[in-house]
């Protein structure tokens, strides 16, 4: 399992999750309350891709423009 990205906008992360699910990519939305306000940065929901082999496909579906606006971790 790999974290795809974290976003402050919960609606945006749900939209991406739906798009990935429709493409057959299993993913999970996580909230880490322990990460809240670490170094003054609020906790944000995280979208995780379940299968490591799907990460490249997921990145392509998310798109370059959206990724430029997000914190992407892979």
Tokens at residue 40, please?
Answer: 């003054």
Report the alpha-carbon distance of residue 12 to residue 67 in Å, rounded: 12
Report the alpha-carbon distance of residue 17 to residue 28 in Å, rounded: 8
pLDDT for the residue numbered 50: 92
The string of pLDDT tens digits covering residues 18-45 is: 999 999 999 998 876 665 565 665 677 8
* Domain extents in the chain: 9-72
pLDDT for the residue numbered 27: 93
The string of pLDDT tens digits covering residues 43-73 is: 778 889 999 899 889 988 888 767 666 655 5
pLDDT for the residue numbered 74: 52
* 55 neighbors 3 (Cβ within 8 angstroms): no
| Phi/psi at 68 (5° precision) | -65, -25
- Residue found under tokens 């299968």: 51
pTM above 0.75, yes or no: no
Tokens at residue 69, please?
Answer: 């606006």
């Amino acid at each position: 399992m790999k974290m795809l990205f974290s976003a402050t906008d919960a609606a945006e992360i749900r939209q991406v999750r739906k798009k990935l699910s429709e493409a057959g990519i299993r993913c999970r939305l996580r909230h880490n309350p322990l990460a809240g306000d670490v170094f003054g940065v609020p906790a944000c929901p995280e979208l995780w891709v379940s299968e490591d082999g799907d990460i490249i496909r997921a990145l392509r579906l998310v798109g370059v423009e959206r990724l430029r606006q997000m914190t992407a971790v892979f």
